[in-house]
Amino acid sequence: MPVIRTADRSDAGPLSRLAEATFRSTFGAVNSPQDMALHCQVSYSEAIQAGEIANPDMLTLLCDGDEGLVGFAQLRWDGTPDCVAAQSPGEIQRLYVADAWHGKGIAQGLMHACIEALQARNSDVAWLGVWERNPRAIAFYRKCGFVGVGDHVFPLGSDPQRDIVMARSIAGPSSNIAPQRGTSGERP
């Protein structure tokens, strides 16, 4: 049975490998090899993951399965876009699950753990960015109560891509977060 836990420094290597593998399997077929390589190099190296695990403004959650890591989520408490209206927002920066574990409740478990961690840090709103061309993720986040509130640019290597910024109240359903016109999370 999979278990969700907080990462420690010794997890940097396995996390680095899982992060790159899940990012490549999710986005590799629709982006250039050069942009993918550059993004993975600057985002998922073991040294970068060790630094993110040690960063007090971040939290890395891991999901262990029988064969090792099967999913992860990373939270941040800095750098919120203007479209997120909150007193104390927290970002779900990354949430990925290994392909073999899709459809087994891992993403839902990680999302639940993210919301609990954000509540523990007294965040009032959870927010995230999701690529406008990732309908599966958009649907998942909508199911979790997130609504579109704006957009921002996500630099994938040399390719500036549009992310939909989605947010939800930590206290309950996202009814108190008004979608920005044209960003309801529906496919543009």
Set out the domains of the chain in order of their start, with CATH numbers. 3-176 (3.40.630.30)
With bands split at pLDDT 50, 70 and 90, how would you rate the model's confidence at 1?
A: confident
Q: What is the sign, positive or negative, of the torsion defined by CA atoms of 36, 38, 43, 46?
A: positive
Average pLDDT of the chain, as a whole number: 91
Q: What is the sign, positive or negative, of the torsion defined by CA atoms of 97, 101, 102, 108?
A: negative
* Whole-structure pTM value: 0.89
Q: Which residue has the higher pLDDT, 15 or 1?
A: 15
Share of the chain above pLDDT 70, in %: 91
Task: State residue 186's pLDDT score.
Answer: 36
Task: State residue 174's pLDDT score.
Answer: 45
The whole-angstrom distance between residue 144's C-alpha and the CA centroid of its chain comes to 13
Task: State residue 164's pLDDT score.
Answer: 98
- Taking CA atoms, 5 is separated from 11, 50, 80, in Å, by 11, 16, 25
Q: Are 140 and 95 in contact (CB under 8 A)?
A: no
With bands split at pLDDT 50, 70 and 90, how would you rate the model's confidence at 70?
A: very high
